[in-house]
Amino acid sequence: MDFEPDIILISVFNTEIIRDFLEIDLLKSKNIILEDFVNKKRNGIFFHNKLYNNPLLRLHITRFILSQIHIALALFLIIISKVLPTPKRLNIINDDLIDRLKNSYWRYSLSALIFKLEEGYFFNSLNFGYPSMEIGVNDGHTSKIFFKGKKITVASDPDISMKIKKDKEVMEIFDEIAKIDAMKEYPFEDEYFKDIIMVHIVDHIKDIDSVFTQINRVMQKGGNFYFSGYSDEQKGKGLIKNEKANEYSKGGYNTYNHNEWKEILNKHGFKMINYNYLLCGFMGKFYEKTIFLYHANRRVLKFFERIPLLNKWYEEMISDFIVPLCERDIQSGKNQKGVHFWIHAQKI
């Protein structure tokens, strides 16, 4: 060689694919050489150490690898769904909810999809009294899927974007948008709300006692408190504990079983009315083994959208194979523990 390249990438993959997934325009490197011979292997890709030490490149490489695993898994399940007898639907998950999830950004993340199908079943079956509040709305994406056609008075979140006001689907659900820190005093009078909802927020809250104290203060006697999160079965797998993240981007807090939650609720003036575990048995194991693929969903989406027939089979696999399995798993959640939980409590 007559020059020393800034980065040497040596790959057994097609050069065009490499250029596509690395998004080379972001690398700001003058010289990138792609050759089809082997130098060093890591995670199925052959490259120079200097390349892997670049965080941006490492992220793109990792996501590319994950997307290939995810695509292979999806294709395998499509084949299984075509070969095995179709499981019978129990018809407990609302078809509109299924359609909304199939068109959401969880569509091509199988672990997230099965979880949201089960979690969504419980939240979608609720109707709320007036006034009500959802804590932890974020961008409203989950709310649009779970609560379409329902009314909730206040949408709250510490990092809520005011762009949410321009989202017609979100504003059809909520009457007000409020930027509220769940771990500080709520700007509402005592015994104001009839119902309060927290969709998978408790695992992001470090000081659960202060939050439950505030919820008790602003909730009417006999009011309903619905929330979901990780159970103690999760055992730290897939949980985010990034100390550099903001307070609500961290995760892995409050991973309790239903008996422990019952004690915590009683301590704060609530009684548990109902609970259900989600992702039990096989479904829980599948979730834990595939959740690491979550961030590859956008690349998986692009793959399937290029091939209409595969896309059609993927949708059929969800409706005819995944949904019936989730429905059976929901029914088993009273008799065996799962990775996640859903709880309905009332203020005493």
- Which stretch of 15-24, 204-213, 228-237 has the lowest confidence by average pLDDT? 15-24
Q: How many Å apart are CA 38 and CA 33, to the nearest integer?
A: 13
Write down the domain spans for the chain.
Answer: 7-83, 95-347
pLDDT on residue 46: 40
pLDDT on residue 26: 37
pLDDT on residue 59: 64
Strand 338-347 to 270-280 pairing: antiparallel
Strand 219-230 to 338-347 pairing: antiparallel
138 has a pLDDT exceeding 60: yes
3-state helix, strand, coil in the chain (%, to 5): 45, 20, 35
Q: Is there a contact between 276 and 92 (Cβ–Cβ < 8 Å)?
A: no
CATH no. for 95-347: 3.40.50.150
Residue 10 confidence class, pLDDT cut points 50, 70, 90: very low
Q: Which of 150, 128, 159 is nearest to 249 (CA)?
A: 159
Determine the average pLDDT of the residues in 15-22.
40
The share of the chain scoring above pLDDT 90, in percent, equals: 50
Interval 36-70: pLDDT, tens? 333 333 333 444 444 445 566 666 677 778 788 88
Most confident option among 8-12, 58-62, 228-232: 228-232
pLDDT on residue 56: 62
Interval 259-280: pLDDT, tens? 999 999 999 999 999 999 999 9
Residue 97 CA to its chain's centroid (Å): 15
- Any alpha helices (H) in the chain, and if so which ranges? 15-22, 49-52, 55-83, 95-102, 110-124, 141-146, 168-171, 208-218, 258-267, 281-290, 297-305, 308-317, 323-332
pLDDT on residue 34: 38
Most confident option among 16-20, 98-102, 291-295: 98-102
pLDDT on residue 119: 97
Q: Is the pTM of this model over 0.85?
A: no
**More reliable by pLDDT, 287 or 2:** 287
Q: How many Å apart are CA 197 and CA 24, to the nearest integer?
A: 44
Mean pLDDT of the chain: 80
